[in-house]
Amino acid sequence: LAKTTQPISMDSYEGQEVNITCSHNNIATNDYITWYQQFPSQGPRFIIQGYKTKVTNEVASLFIPADRKSSTLSLPRVSLSDTAVYYCLVGDGETSGSRLTFGEGTQLTVNP
Amino acid sequence: NAGVMQNPRHLVRRRGQEARLRCSPMKGHSHVYWYRQLPEEGLKFMVYLQKENIIDESGMPKERFSAEFPKEGPSILRIQQVVRGDSAAYFCASSPGLKKISTDTQYFGPGTRLTVL
């Protein structure tokens, strides 16, 4: 069972770049890596997904090293509204849904 | 295009009663997921459904919990004879079903917060 490990919390300041790393040592060949953001009392929101190397969209970048045992979500120039819990999700389409476990996530707090 | 709708947003039940949680997926989405989130914890997968078909229920408790996604109408998560430990936020997500289960982007609803007294 692919298990993910993330820091429980991170603190940052407005305007800084934030990097959140997720470890997934048991990632399988077909596994993709997906990141979601969750605000209090809301459902998670998709941020970015990747398989290898680097993926970038209008919100974030995702860096995946060659061994794929970890991934790093990079948020450029964070603002107060980026304060949320960030979840790393690993799984592939061939496995049961029980692998769709979001884990504890990382509480990011952006300070003024 | 309306997002995923869930109702009720808050539900209070006494022990032993039944709880029915409804989820209307985004327009054009044929797949629905249900998750449970306990306070201060991450989301736990419960069940994955397509219209009139349960694809994966590996995360569902063996007793008292059931889910359906009929041809017409919303998906229903049903909890019979609720106990205090069922108190949690229940999130529904939908996806277009174009990719495999965990690579398909999921769009989440606002959740239903169930409180069992």
Instruction: List pLDDT tens digits, range B81-105.
Output: 999 999 999 999 998 876 665 567 8
- Evaluate if residue A73 carries a pLDDT over 70: yes
Gap from B18 CA to chain A (nearest CA, Å)? 23
Q: Considering only alpha carbons, which residue of chain B is nearest residue A51? A: B103
Whole-angstrom distance, CA of residue A18 vs CA of residue A86: 12
Give me B51's structure tokens. 């219209």
Contact B103 A43 (CB under 8 A): no
Measured between beta carbons, which residues in chain A are less than 8 angstroms from residue B47?
Answer: 97
**Closest by Cβ to B102, choosing from A87, A89, A104:** A89
How confident is residue B56, by pLDDT bands cut at 50, 70 and 90?
confident
Contact B101 A97 (CB under 8 A): yes
Q: Higher model confidence: residue B45 or residue B103?
A: B45
> In the prediction, which pLDDT does A104 show?
78
Whole-angstrom distance, CA of residue A99 vs CA of residue A109: 28
Whole-angstrom distance, CA of residue B15 vs CA of residue A41: 24
Q: Higher model confidence: residue A93 or residue A41?
A: A41
> In the prediction, which pLDDT does A94 show?
56
- Evaluate if residue B70 carries a pLDDT over 90: yes
Give Dmax over CA atoms of chain B in angstroms.
41
> In the prediction, which pLDDT does A1 show?
47
> In the prediction, which pLDDT does A96 show?
56
Q: First vs last Cα of chain A: how many Å apart?
A: 39
Q: List b or e across A10-43, with b for residues whose CB sees 16 or more CB atoms inside 10 angstroms.
A: bebeeeeebebbbebeebeeebbbbbbbbeeeeb
Measured between beta carbons, which residues in chain A are less than 8 angstroms from residue B108?
Answer: 42-45
> In the prediction, which pLDDT does B99 show?
63
Give the sign of the dihedral formed by CA A41, CA A45, CA A51, CA A53: negative
Q: Considering only alpha carbons, which residue of chain A is nearest residue B59? A: A98
